[in-house]
Amino acid sequence: METRVQLTSQDLIALEEQYGAHNYHPLDVVLSHGEGVWVWDVEGQRYMDCLSAYSAVNQGHAHPRIRQALVEQAERLPLTSRAFRNDQLGRFYQRLATLTGYEMILPMNTGAEAVETALKAARKWGYQVKGIPGAAEIITCDGNFAGRTISIISFSTEEQYRAGFGPFTPGFKTVPYGDAAALEAAITPDTVAFMVEPIQGEGGVVVPTEGYLRQVRDICDRHNVLFIADEIQTGLGRTGKLFACDHEDVKPDMVTIGKALSGGYYPVSAALSSTEILGVFQPGDHGSTFGGNPLGAAVAQAALDVLVEENMIENAAEMGEYFQDQLAEINSPHVKEVRGKGLMIGVELHDAAGGARRFCEALQDAGILAKETHHNIIRFAPPLVISREDIDWALERIRPVLLMD
């Protein structure tokens, strides 16, 4: 039997750097296992995870009920493709529809795929149902982030995401985020949809003015334009509600979800909408070999069950308010603003602070894993299972970092 050589963090980092494409700039911590809000590196050092894999691990690392569902289904039947039916997909559809109130689901794998699905559905709806006279237009916001496919970067306003990747997919128009009047002014007879993040994650944890989403809903209704909410990061409890749009009692025409839909065990995403909208797809119009597979469907059902039955959404609301209030009380000369909703919190630093990266590296040394977004914002987004005791432990370590020279 071959003996496996124990490699150090530096050994493993060197392998990544040698053989992997350099499309990420991670913190230099090499994790080997996790449980709840905690993760451990290969040397056995423990850290609190305050990123949650960009909200994919809302239910906490290695949740045992989700793991059990994964193992049991993997032993039975992992994949059929959609050429055949499986005994998990219908159950998944029903569970998700009952929880969210949407009539129809189209499952995919990654968040970017769910967004591509929404874009395709909106365009076909525009031609077949709305009967637009020209080429379908979709309006998005500056500062958006929905993935890095060619079509998605075509409406990005982040230059790095676009540089060197053109020509781009036409049919997109950009308006300022949070500006309802700008949205209404941009609508033309060819506009089929407006897609927006209820809170911008990669854009810097940007929370729009209260009432914005309600205004968006009213504008889209008046102009017969689809309101698409990208809830891939904000959805499934992250902000203290099932969806971030629920804070304004707004129901979009279509919602994209992913990440926490599988509790971090397996890539599962979906577009949710009405039969009128998703019903425009006919066999062969859109699909995925892995989308809707039995393994992903079983895992997603378990992930949804624990999210609801273990009161993680309510905990996110309560712990998020406490965490944000405590962070705001740290009288640091580096901090410009603390903002967010639920357990999606951003700490914006002044330009003179020298960037958020050095603070994230100092937090790592103190046992907390957080990540910068943009140049000067630290994002704190721990798993929704976090306790007040955990937050107090973290705050003892965050305070001196935010107060350092």
Q: pLDDT category, 343, cuts 50, 70, 90?
A: very high
Beta strands in 36-190 (DSSP E): 38-41, 46-49, 104-108, 137-141, 172-175
Task: Please state, in angstroms and rounded to a whole number, the distance separating the CA atoms of residues 193 and 203.
Answer: 21
Q: Is 165 a catalytic residue?
A: no
Considering 230, 241, 281, 323, which one is annotated as catalytic?
Answer: 230
Instruction: Give the rounded percent of residues in the chain with a pLDDT score beyond 70.
Output: 99
145 is known as an active-site residue: yes
**Residues 243-256: pLDDT tens digits?**
999 999 999 999 99
Chain centroid to CA 171: 24
Res 243: pLDDT: 98
| Tens of pLDDT, residues 233-284 | 999 999 999 999 999 999 999 999 999 999 999 999 999 999 999 999 999 9
259 is catalytic: yes
Active-site pick, 259, 323, 341, 371: 259
CA-CA distance, 220 to 193, in Å (whole number)? 8
Q: Which domains does the chain have, with CATH numbers?
A: 9-59+311-402 (3.90.1150.10), 64-309 (3.40.640.10)
Cβ proximity of 68 and 304 under 8 Å:
no
CB atoms near residue 293 (< 10 Å): 25
* Cα dihedral: 394, 53, 55, 376 (round 10): 70
Q: Choose the catalytic residue: 92, 145, 281, 380.
A: 145
Give me the DSSP letters along 94-125: HHHHHHH--SEEEEESSHHHHHHHHHHHHHHH
Report field, pTM of the whole predicted structure over 0.95: yes
The CB density around residue 169, as the number of other CB atoms within 10 Å, is: 14
89-100 vs 294-309: helix crossing angle, rounded to 10: 30
